[in-house]
Structure formats: structure tokens, C-alpha cells
Amino acid sequence: MSSSTSSMPAAHVFCDNRETAGFLHDGGFAEYASTDPETTVKLPDSISFEQAAPLTCAGATVWGSLEGATTGLAKGETVAIVGIGGLGHLGVQFAKALGFKVVAMDRREAGRQLASDVENPVLKPDLVVDASDTAAASKAIYDFTNGEGVAAAVVCTPSLEANRWALNILRIKGTLGILGLPQNSWQFDAAPIVFRELTIKGSYVAGRAATERMMKVVEEAGVRSHLTVLPFDEIPGIVEIYEDAAFKGRIVVQI
């Protein structure tokens, strides 16, 4: 259970006394759990438990950043999702479902393939870019946006290089949403931020109201996670699977 006296929206997300099952509190692999109504949303009938599992973690995380980075943008604007893994491939689908043009970027072939393999063809990215060659990637993005750059970018990778580079593909007054947590401090060039009036936004995770909006979009647009479903007794090997650069999507454990 959580408690907070703050009047800010989704204040429970920042509660100092919160208990997070699987992270700060035992119970992540229990069959049943007691939950705080402030952090609980109704699961639409069309969404399976397996599909729901990543939505309340990866989904809510990238949704919160995407909403923050695209505030005030009109449909048809171009949004970049940098790093196409468990978060990024959902971010691509969310952005498409919201009416944006979407550029998906990853230096890994597995990541780019994941973006291209989105189940619903309507939610596939408009452009998939190999980010291993930043000069070529930047040219492809500026060509796609008629020389302007993207209106917003959400970075779903802890790569310092990716975070620094993402600033350079933003258009004037563009917004960068940061989700990755690099091990080392991020040093950036202040010049483009000042002279192009860029905004950098952090995002922790979506609160209840935002998660409800996300669930509505998932149900109406047919957003789907790329899943690998494993039995309970294979839990010890999950870390090794995730560390494989060729792995795509999210793992769900059947209890």
C-alpha cells in the first residue's frame, strides 16, 4: 500500500513509502496479491493476462514518457523511438496509434526487426533506421522530415551515445524524453539546447489515469507485445536470456 499527501497528479508514483512487488517488496511471482486501488486499473476483456503483464511495466513506462514528450503536438508530426526492445516496440505502436509519423531506430538488427514485425500493420513504423552509423541515420531522418528533424524523441536505451545523438535529430523546440539509465554521467552540449530551444524531459512511470488511457489505446488500436512465455521453473535462466543481444520483446512467466 502507498500513502502520499501531495496534490500533484500520480503522486503515488513518487511516494517514499511505496511497496513495489518484485522490486522493493516480495510477491512478484505470487498467484494473488493485495493492491492499492490508487495503483490498480481495469483490464479490458480483449487483453489477455499474458499481454497485460508487460503493459503495466514496460508499457506504462514508455507511455508516460511518450505523453510527456508529445504534449501539444498535432497528429501527423514525426516522433522518434530510439532503442527498440521491450519498451521501444510498444512505444512505436503507441505513437502510431496516437496518429504520429514514427521513426524507429536501433543499432541492433534484432531491434530493427522487432519494429518491422509489429503484429498490426497499421502500427508499423513509417521509417526504420540503423543507428550504428549516426551520420547516415541523421541524414535519413532529416530527409524524411524535409530537413526539420523530429518533433519529439523517446530514448529507451541506456546508451550514452544514443542519448547525446538524439538531441541532434530534434527540430527547433523539439522535446527529448529520457527513459534509459546510463551507468555513467551524461555530459551533453548545451549549444543545441539553447539555440534551438530544446526540452529534455525525464519520466518515471505512468500514473493511474495515464495507464487507463494507455489501456484504452491498447484495446482500440490492437497494440500487442512480442512475448516469450516461460514456465515458472525456468525463472533462474531469465537473466541470461535477456542479456542475449538477439533477444526480442518481453518475457512473461506462467505461474
**Under CATH, what is the fold of the domain 66-202?**
Rossmann fold (3.40.50)
What pLDDT, on the 0 to 100 scale, is given for residue 95? 99
Judge contact between 100 and 186, C-beta under 8 A.
no
pLDDT digits (tens, 9 = 90+) for 73-89: 999 999 999 999 999 99
- Does residue 190 have a pLDDT over 70? yes
Residue length of the chain: 255
Judge contact between 31 and 255, C-beta under 8 A.
yes
Q: Is the pTM of this model over 0.95?
A: no
Domain parsing of the chain, residue ranges:
11-51+207-254, 66-202
Residues 6+ apart with CB under 8 A from 64: 203, 204, 205, 206, 207, 210
pLDDT digits (tens, 9 = 90+) for 89-98: 999 999 999 9
Query: What dihedral angle (degrees, nearest 10) is formed by the CA atoms of 185, 189, 192, 193?
Result: 40
pLDDT digits (tens, 9 = 90+) for 22-77: 777 777 778 888 888 888 899 999 999 999 999 988 999 999 999 999 999 999 99
- Measure the N-to-C terminal CA separation of the chain; round to a whole number of Å: 23
CATH numeric code, 11-51+207-254:
3.90.180.10
